[in-house]
Amino acid sequence: MTTATAQLLTVPEVMARLKIGRSKVYDLIRSRRLASIKIDGARRIPADAVRDFILGQIEETA
């Protein structure tokens, strides 16, 4: 596996990292709070986007 593909996460992987449900992940994508790309119908989320989302949430609560 290359480094580039290791940085793209599936929805279930994001669910596990954020400890949220599938529909919430898609809500975050739909509302553009979580960046994603689509590859031939498969949704992928860059690991950096997940990190940025978490950091943004921390900043909002501080």
Q: What is the DSSP string of 17-51?
A: HHT--HHHHHHHHHTTSS--EEETTEEEEEHHHHH
Specify the higher pLDDT residue, 17 or 4.
17
Tens-place pLDDT, residues 22-54: 999 999 999 999 999 999 999 999 999 999 999
Distance (Å, rounded) from C-alpha 46 to C-alpha 35?
7
Question: Looking at the whole model, is its pTM more than 0.75?
Answer: yes
